[in-house]
Amino acid sequence: MPGNTFRPILVVTVAVYCSCAVLRSAPGNTTNAPSPVEFLGATHDIGSPALDRGLTGKPLRVGRAGSARGICVQAPARIELKLAPSCKQFMARIGMDNAPRMAGTASFVVLLDDQEAYRSPLLSKGMEPLPVSLALGSAGMMALVVEEAGIVVGDMADWLEPQILMADGRILDLSVSLAEQGFLERTAAPKLPQRAGSVICDVRQLGAKGDARADDTQAFEQAFTALGNAAHGVLRIPPGDYRITRRIELVLRAADSARSGITVEGEGQSVSNLLCDSPGGLFRLVDPACATQFNLRDFSIVARQENCGTALDFGSPGRGARNYRTLTIENVDIRGDNVYRSNYFSVGLDATGHWRPLFRNLVVHSSRQRGTDRPAPDNSTGGACGVRADWCYAPAFEHCYVWGTRTGYSILCRNAPEGPEDASFIRCTAVGCAVGIDIDTPIPEPQLLITGCHINCTEVGIRLRNRKFFTITDNLMYSAVPSETPYTDILVSGRSHCGLITGNIFHFAGRDVYRADPQSARVNVHITSDIRDVTVANNIFNAKGTTVLIESGARRVKADDNGIANAHAKPSKN
């Protein structure tokens, strides 16, 4: 993202260089001369950059344009170059590589003498390459930078045909110059030993005190390092209160493509407690190969500060259909150290690119006002999201509970032209959130089941956009705002189609539920104009307001055989 501070994962520095590069004065006329551009070093997120090919080994291609020359990097990335005074203009075409199953979005930046001289708009996969022509002036240093835009991994970016125009009119082919300077050899990721067999770590044996006062961060870092170097690993957290003062990261090697497993287990919720005393969150676990199976269970995560970031952050590239589960979270509680205080996590759990993640008995609490059962006005002191599944295929939520965040559960596809299919919510609860369950995919994706859930929110209970073959059934739908405040229980929009909304009960617990005044601004089911083939049947409407609102233009939407249990419930409107 703009303003990112890159964490160097790979840093290469080259001393004084003197070699030859291809300089072209006219088509077909090349000469050898000392290179006016010196490669100094590079930082690269995962693995190594590539010359004249994509990171997957395929030819460079941005949108419909292919090229035999260029540099492909994984954002965030930075390539530093020293320029001779004869270098006058930088030219290239830029864009996101068309690598399959990679949903890239990034910004391209050129720095001259550490000052930003060019910044592209956000570019996404599928967009045509954008030409860049930048006068270099008297700059002695140039850095080619690519900044990620939110996705954890998968942002593969191409600098196509990078060239330098010289003062004498000749053109330097930058990719050829870099190749001659050993760019690939000098930026190659170090060869690491194969992962060991199995390891079991106990944080107490690694020096953790668990007394809520001592800093136990180092013990957990040692444990995760051991897990990352093993094919199969278990981290055990005995009873106690473990204080952690900085985010703990585990980024597995992309070469570790063989299936492996990592388990983090405690002795129970509120028994094994991880006290997060850091604004950066607790754990960030990244698997570039989408091969490791992560299992976390039986512990609590407690925010000791206001807005402690993302408690659990899991990243993997979206790599299509897999026949195994890559993430299982069970019996985990994420909360502030006291519900009447302002300490909370901005996001409870953020999973990107995982295959069939399962969340069972995952509980996320935000902060609330003293003496009330709801968060502060406009969720101003609460978290942004309880659980977020970004480009996760078939996420399953069972017996989960989110309370007081802006969004309870979010299924979305950031920076991706399409989203994975399938999702289910069974016996889940969203209370005091602005939006309870938010499903938003770029194009209509098949299958969604929401059943047996309890939804009690302040703006929208269930918001559905671009879903087909969905079933919303047997849920209890409340409203956490007064009758006169606008509220929608179920909102179906986008190009959603072929769905059932059946067997739900719509209720309001306020004292005026059976009174004509005040008039209610609540809509139980709202079907927008671009929806087709949806049935709303066998529901019970025991709340004031409009039962079913069907916008003009919706096709083959039926609202039949519903029960009206409240005299002030308005009939369906077309």
The per-residue pLDDT for 346 is 92
The per-residue pLDDT for 16 is 30
State the total domains in the chain: 3
The per-residue pLDDT for 456 is 95
Q: In this structure, are 219 and 329 located in the same domain?
A: yes
| CA–CA distance, 458 with 256 (Å, rounded to integer) | 45
Domain assignment present for 457: no
Domain assignment present for 453: no
Query: Among 187, 211, 237, where does a domain finish?
Result: 187
Per-residue pLDDT of 228-277, as tens digits, reads 888 889 999 999 999 999 999 998 865 554 558 899 999 999 999 999 99
Domain assignment present for 547: yes
Domain assignment present for 497: no
Q: In this structure, are 225 and 112 located in the same domain?
A: no
Q: In this structure, are 174 and 257 located in the same domain?
A: no
Q: How far apart are the first and last CA of the chain?
A: 44
The answer for 51, left when phi > 0, alpha when psi is -120 to 50, beta otherwise, is beta
The per-residue pLDDT for 548 is 96
Domain assignment present for 129: yes
Q: In this structure, are 242 and 387 located in the same domain?
A: yes
Domain containing 378 equals 201-427
- CATH number, domain of 342, equals 2.160.20.10
Beta-sheet strands, E only, within 395-459:
396-398, 401-403, 407-412, 424-426, 429-431, 435-451, 454-457
Q: In this structure, are 249 and 175 located in the same domain?
A: no
Q: In this structure, are 476 and 508 located in the same domain?
A: yes
> What DSSP line would sit under 244-256, residue for residue?
E-S-EEEE--TT-
| CA–CA distance, 142 with 178 (Å, rounded to integer) | 14
Q: In this structure, are 405 and 444 located in the same domain?
A: no
CB hemisphere CA count around 108 (13 angstroms): 25
Q: In this structure, are 371 and 442 located in the same domain?
A: no
Strands 105-112 and 435-451, by their bridges, are unpaired
- CATH number, domain of 134, equals 2.60.120.1060
Q: In this structure, are 56 and 177 located in the same domain?
A: yes
Query: Among 156, 187, 218, where does a domain finish?
Result: 187
The per-residue pLDDT for 407 is 95
The per-residue pLDDT for 75 is 83
Domain assignment present for 14: no
CB 104 within 8 Å of CB 98:
no
Q: In this structure, are 440 and 421 located in the same domain?
A: no
The per-residue pLDDT for 539 is 97
Beta-sheet strands, E only, within 4-104:
20-26, 29-34, 37-44, 50-51, 60-62, 65-67, 70-74, 77-83, 87-96
**Polymer length of the chain:** 574
Q: In this structure, are 301 and 444 located in the same domain?
A: no
- What stretches in the chain show pLDDT beneath 50? 1-22, 25-32, 151-152, 192-193, 257, 369-381
Domain assignment present for 4: no
Q: Which is it for the CA torsion 207, 208, 212, 213, positive or negative?
A: positive
The answer for 226, left when phi > 0, alpha when psi is -120 to 50, beta otherwise, is alpha
| CA–CA distance, 105 with 127 (Å, rounded to integer) | 10
The per-residue pLDDT for 382 is 61
The amino acid at residue 283 is F
The answer for 212, left when phi > 0, alpha when psi is -120 to 50, beta otherwise, is left
The per-residue pLDDT for 425 is 98
Backbone angles phi, psi at 186, to 5 degrees: -80, -20
The amino acid at residue 49 is P
pTM above 0.75?
A: no
Per-residue pLDDT of 370-410, as tens digits, reads 333 444 444 444 689 999 999 899 999 999 999 989 999 99
| CA–CA distance, 223 with 202 (Å, rounded to integer) | 8
Domain assignment present for 216: yes
| CA–CA distance, 425 with 472 (Å, rounded to integer) | 10
Q: In this structure, are 412 and 470 located in the same domain?
A: no
